[in-house]
């Protein structure tokens, strides 16, 4: 039996009918391992001592309501290196507190903890910017704080998408068409008069067929992806923005992108990665808390959580 600690959002906030971290926990428990949980705010580092956390030792009940019970034995200072694995599943935003949490987790690694995904890799791969390293697979993309650069990009590509670098779930995404209507207002909103960086991408009409989430586990693509299809005139396919998730086999192009990026990202310490692909173009590389396990499994029968725990157990062997 292994003791697995999940660093996640509050357990009481989980929507278990779709929560990926819940499906991970369920598979971990199914295999006879002990599930523990804490939040990033529970991490503590006292000088001269190991990084520790106030953890909850839980048992999943199999019920929709009251889906877990907390077991006796809560330890107010459990050193992270005493767990067999620490799975970092805190949702974005990647703000200052998330950044500091990765430093505490990296210190725990130096003390012997096994952390997935690697804290340093989380810091080194900001989810929007990481795309730029793999530009050969991406649509034309610009990152800038300068309004004039954005205007020039629009003049060249006519139909563009603008989004903040720290957004999640489709928040703050704007489409500007060829007429440029409201471009100035959108630039001011996103770049805050030159104070914040903005990502600008050529609009891909293939979004109508869905923004595909392709999962990489230990560098290998899961054979099914989730196409998140915009609804009701929306340009955003994100499930959080009302997109409809449709599981489908990955395409030849999806596999080509996945096989090019997978080994590179896995070697850097990223056990789980979510690639976003529209049409044949890579649009984002998600590393903090990739999701869609439940939707893919429910629709395709592909047990993604089992594939993930297989990889986790292999990494611990």
Active site residues: 128, 163, 213, 228, 236, 276, 284, 286
d(CA 109, CA 124): 16
- Three-state SS for 61-116 is CCCCCCCEEECCCCCCCEEHHHCCEEEECCCCCCCHHHHHHHHHHHHHHHCCCCEE
d(CA 239, CA 48): 44
| φ, ψ (nearest 5 deg) of residue 91 | -70, 155
3-state secondary structure at position 191: helix
β-pair partners for 317: none
Is residue 22 within 8 A of residue 67, CB to CB? The reply is: yes
Rama region for 229: left / alpha / beta (φ>0; ψ in -120 to 50; rest): beta
Which residues, at least 6 apart from 15, have a Cβ–Cβ distance to it below 8 Å?
none
d(CA 163, CA 186): 10
| Sign of the alpha-carbon dihedral angle for 264, 268, 274, 278 | negative
């Amino acid at each position: 039996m292994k003791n697995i600690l999940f660093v996640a959002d509050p357990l009481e906030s989980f929507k278990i009918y779709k929560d990926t971290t819940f499906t991970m926990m369920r598979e971990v428990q199914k295999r006879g391992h002990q599930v523990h949980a804490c939040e990033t705010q529970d991490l503590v580092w006292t000088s001269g001592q190991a990084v520790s956390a106030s953890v909850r030792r839980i048992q999943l009940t199999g019920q929709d309501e009251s889906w877990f019970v907390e077991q006796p034995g809560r330890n107010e200072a459990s050193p992270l290196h005493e767990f067999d694995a620490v799975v970092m599943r805190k949702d974005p935003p990647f703000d200052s507190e998330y950044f500091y949490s990765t430093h505490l987790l990296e210190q725990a690694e130096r003390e012997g903890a096994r952390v997935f995904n690697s804290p340093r890799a989380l810091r080194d791969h900001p989810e929007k910017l990481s795309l730029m390293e793999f530009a050969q697979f991406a649509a034309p993309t610009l990152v800038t704080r300068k309004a004039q650069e954005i205007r020039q990009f629009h003049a060249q590509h006519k139909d563009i998408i603008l989004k903040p670098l720290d957004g999640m779930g489709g928040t703050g995404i704007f489409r500007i068409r060829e007429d440029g209507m409201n471009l100035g207002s959108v630039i001011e909103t996103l770049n805050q008069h030159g104070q914040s960086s903005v990502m600008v991408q050529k609009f891909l009409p293939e979004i109508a067929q869905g923004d595909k989430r392709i999962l990489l586990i230990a560098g290998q693509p899961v054979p099914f992806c989730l196409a998140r299809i915009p609804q009701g005139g929306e340009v955003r396919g994100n499930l959080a923005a009302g997109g409809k998730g449709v599981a489908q086999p990955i395409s030849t192009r999806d596999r080509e992108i996945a096989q090019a990026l997978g080994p590179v990202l896995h070697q850097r310490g990223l056990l789980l990665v979510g690639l976003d692909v529209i049409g044949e173009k890579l649009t984002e590389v998600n590393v903090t808390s990739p999701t869609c396990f439940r939707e893919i499994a429910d629709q395709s029968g592909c047990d993604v959580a089992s594939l993930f725990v297989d990889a986790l157990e292999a990494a611990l062997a």
